[in-house]
Structure 1
Amino acid sequence: MMTHLASQVARRLGFSLLGAPLTAMAMSQAPTQLDTDIVVTNSTLQPITLAFAGDARYQSQATEIPALESRTVAVLGRDSGRNSELDMHLSSAGYNLSLTQQTQGTALQFSAEGSGWDLNDYSDEAIHRFNPQAGRFELAFKGTDLSDGGQLRYVIQQADNKPELADAGSLNVLSYNIWATTIYGSKKVDSRLELMPQVMSGYDVLVLTEVFDLAPANKLLDALRAEYPYQSGEIFKAGKLMSSGTRIVSRWPFEVEDAHIYNACDGIQCAATRGVIYARINKQGKPYHIFATHTQSSDDDANRNARKAQLQEMGDYIRRLNIAADEAVIMAGDFNVNKIGLPQDRDYMEAVLQAQEPANLGHNLSYDANSNHWAEQPYLEYLDYTLFSRVNQQPLQATQEIIAPRSTTDVLWGEWDLSDHYAARGVFRFDAAGVSRAAFPYLNEVVHLKTANGHFVRAMSGGNSFISAGSDQVGSWESFVLQTHDNGKVLLRARDGHYVALDSYLLGTLKANNHDRGPAAQFELVERGDGKIALKADNGKYLRADFAGGAGLSAGASVVDSWETFELIRP
């Protein structure tokens, strides 16, 4: 039998009187009481109210969760030898549901139910996601460190009720700063941008800003191309370190693309090419003039003055285009005009652009450090807009909605937001009476010329370059407008406004680098039936796609066969 002294020595060495490690004995004793934080993330645009019921030991922490915010709503006690239940009823403008937590001693199970649906009990720490009520919202939940009390988090994410794609008089525009600027501190760019195509699907036009990180941004643009094949180019000014990071991406073809680079800037932001990109888009015969910009940020005097000067340049540029008064003009982007803190600057923006902001139906901020994980404190701002012109065709209806693109995917769990900005959605309805579409061969409308083996004629860079028949997809570079000449021949105008013309009469080579409508740019159109044509150049030869497509294009054929036949496709 051990003496008292030996017992003390043994304890100091970490052994019990029976020879077992004391630490092991302590670890083997299960806790008799645990406290678990219950957290609810409200990823909807309406506040959620909570009511509690049940016989559990708990402390209520919150009975309302503001839109897009998270709250610890209760601390749930889990006591050995006691079974209990805590029911939380959540209600909002869009739904009602109940979240149930059951304890059996310190063990915890959790589940949810609503009108016409209920879920099984769970007790693990995986992420579980469900889309009840025909996908009106997503419910996701996950336990963390539950064996030590830990946290149980529920996420209620509202389904995005996108506006319906409609006829020529309807235009839906999504303006989104995607925060792809690693050099300025953007986080998880690859992961966030991979999730954006689903958020961006279903619109007529996208205006994207901060499209700087080349690899993930190009991957995003490629992923969007199937739905939005018409994508503007980038603008860059010699002497700058960065391009503009601004893009117009469209479901509908560009008839014209242009840009203006701002002269005004201040400080470090002069490293980027600030400007406005312009695209005249043709939706089913109705033209829309889209202007996209990203102006100088920050609200000190120097930056405000630079931003105001940029807005003045934008307004002057739009006015120089002399757009017809009966055609619609939309301006969108990250204007960096904070109408919350500086409402007079919003008024200035509307005045110099001769524009109007539609009524906002969504969140009251587009940059919200209280609810957006990535937004920098303490900024609570409204910076992103979709505006319409007051001096051009007026919309019959116009609304703007600040929405919060979010995801419960594993890589963004706890962070949620796809960008540090929320997105602005503009929904416009214009009078389209009298809009009609031209009969074949679709004169004065955008067309694509498809070769015999399925390739498309392309003007490299959209114009001011050479022509080929080697493209395997349609887009802005493959877009042309057939225009008539007074002599009955046709002209083939590339996206940037240059005309396709003979570069060499002898060789029949072609370039789209001509603003002259002279004989070299004129073609005789020969209808071939079934929506197909041939084009005879001024050298007396027909345009030919080498090898039926996938290679060069020249005016070198004396007769018309399959290589000289092109299908006209109108978007």
Structure 2
Amino acid sequence: MIAALAMLAAASARAEPKPVTFSVMTYNVEGLPWPVRKGRGTALKRIGHELAAMRAKGVEPDVVLIQEGFRDEIWDLIDESQYPYVARGPRKGQRDANVFPKGQRPDFRRVKYRRKGEGLGKWGSSGLWVLSNHPIEWVKSHAYRYCAGLDCLANKGVMLVAVDVQGLPTPVEIADTHLNSKGASGVPRSRATQAHHLQADELKRFMQADRTPGAPLIVGGDFNVMHSPERFDHVMNDYPFEVVSRWCHARPGACDTQISYDGDAPWLNTQDLIGFLNGEAVAVTPIAVEATFDGADEPVLSDHDGYKVTFRLTPKG
């Protein structure tokens, strides 16, 4: 009798869902080609080396979301980093259907500042990559139709991957994106902002159409919203995911925050954001936030720091 009760208790313990710790880092690696940037090939390889050093210490992110991985040396970063699973976002030649139906398409002249890169074709890919410790089940992507200025030379867009995390009843879906810049685009702020809004709308329509309903979701990337409440609010309008920095700021003590948060709106102090959405079968909760590649534990190797968030993924039921 005692043995039978012990067996039942052990079986119950095995069946009880256990939370999984899962970390995601977004990092704009500034992998721009010469003559726009010099020395970036060497820097990309060093980033891969530093990721491998983090791996040796057991502190590497489970998933790395990369932006501006345009150069061929991005493969050196990938090889050095030792991530077993890799996915790539829209390539230079990818063109996708207009997500806005006829009658709802925006009044936006797509070629207005040719001397600033508009209408000259795509000189580079989206620069988006996902590196993962966990198997990537599938990849979907969308190249943005609308852009402004020098940003038009890259085929910016969004990619969505499904990652199989052991111990969870369903894959975690993760999106990586890079939205239109402001002053760096070289065109008037009003035009750059309009393009940014349109890309945000494309992002939301893509996610609505292509993500699995009810799947746990993490969204990261270079959103180019720094010091721009207008841009941030447009990204967040009509989309239910919550931004980690805003969530943690509203809940003092809920996150182990090892990053400088200044002011009442820390989500506007950076271009780089990570957001999340609970799934029907998996709850997603941020528990720690830290900067990487900021000169502390890792050297500064880009014009962006890395931004790493650790989540607790808890199966429901």
Common fold: TM-score over 0.5: yes
**1:400/1:313 CA distance change after superposition, 3 Å:** farther
**Residue aligning to 2:78:** 221
Residue 205 of structure 1, CA deviation: 0.3
TM-score (normalizing by structure 1):
0.39
Q: Whole-Å Cα distance in 1 between the matches of residues 297 and 25 of structure 2?
A: 22
**1:318/1:408 CA distance change after superposition, 3 Å:** closer
TM-score (normalizing by structure 2):
0.69
**Residue aligning to 1:423:** 306
Residue 396 of structure 1, CA deviation: 3.5
Q: Whole-Å Cα distance in 1 between the matches of residues 196 and 182 of structure 2?
A: 9
Q: Whole-Å Cα distance in 2 between the matches of residues 170 and 408 of structure 1?
A: 21
What secondary structure does 1:396 align onto? strand
What secondary structure does 2:237 align onto? helix
Identity %, equivalent residues: 25
User: What code does the residue aligned with 1:309 have?
Assistant: L
- For the 8 Å contact 1:402–1:422, the answer to whether it is kept is yes
After superposition, where does 1:154-193 map in structure 2 within 5 Å?
Answer: 169-183=20-34, 185-193=36-44
Structure 2 gap ranges (5+): 1-17, 55-59, 94-120, 184-188, 249-256, 263-267
Say yes or no: does 1:211 pair with 2:94.
no
Alignment match of 1:351 (pick from 214, 217, 237): 237
**1:293/1:267 CA distance change after superposition, 3 Å:** same
Q: Whole-Å Cα distance in 1 between the matches of residues 225 and 35 of structure 2?
A: 20
- For the 8 Å contact 1:255–1:281, the answer to whether it is kept is yes
Say yes or no: does 1:363 pair with 2:220.
no
Residue 168 of structure 1, CA deviation: 6.3
**1:257/1:315 CA distance change after superposition, 3 Å:** same
| Cα offsets for 1:19-70 (capped at 9, x unmatched) | xxxxxxxxxxxxxxxxxxxxxxxxxxxxxxxxxxxxxxxxxxxxxxxxxxxx
Q: Whole-Å Cα distance in 2 between the matches of residues 343 and 417 of structure 1?
A: 27
Alignment match of 1:249 (pick from 131, 136, 156): 131
Residue 235 of structure 1, CA deviation: 1.7
Q: Whole-Å Cα distance in 1 between the matches of residues 63 and 308 of structure 2?
A: 10
| Cα offsets for 1:254-294 (capped at 9, x unmatched) | 11111011111112211110110111000115311010011
**Residue aligning to 2:85:** 230
User: What code does the residue aligned with 1:197 have?
Assistant: G
**Residue aligning to 1:489:** none
After superposition, where does 1:147-546 map in structure 2 within 5 Å?
Answer: 169-183=20-34, 185-200=36-51, 201=54, 202-214=60-72, 216-224=73-81, 226=82, 228-238=83-93, 239-286=121-168, 287-298=171-182, 300-321=189-210, 323-325=212-214, 327-338=215-226, 341-359=227-245, 361=257, 362-364=259-261, 381-389=269-277, 394-406=283-295, 417-433=300-316
Dislocated runs of 4+, deviation >6 Å: none
Q: Whole-Å Cα distance in 2 between the matches of residues 168 and 324 of structure 1?
A: 21
Residue 315 of structure 1, CA deviation: 1.0
Residue 391 of structure 1, CA deviation: 7.4
Q: Whole-Å Cα distance in 1 between the matches of residues 217 and 211 of structure 2?
A: 11
After superposition, where does 1:20-99 map in structure 2 within 5 Å?
Answer: none
- Which of the pair has more CA radius of gyration? 1
| Cα offsets for 1:102-124 (capped at 9, x unmatched) | xxxxxxxxxxxxxxxxxxxxxxx
User: What code does the residue aligned with 2:90 have?
Assistant: I
**1:418/1:179 CA distance change after superposition, 3 Å:** same
- For the 8 Å contact 1:291–1:332, the answer to whether it is kept is yes
Residue 398 of structure 1, CA deviation: 4.3
User: What code does the residue aligned with 2:235 have?
Assistant: M
User: What code does the residue aligned with 2:290 have?
Assistant: E
Structure 1 gap ranges (5+): 1-166, 366-379, 410-415, 435-571
Structure (1 or 2) with the greater strand fraction:
1
Q: Whole-Å Cα distance in 2 between the matches of residues 194 and 232 of structure 1?
A: 18
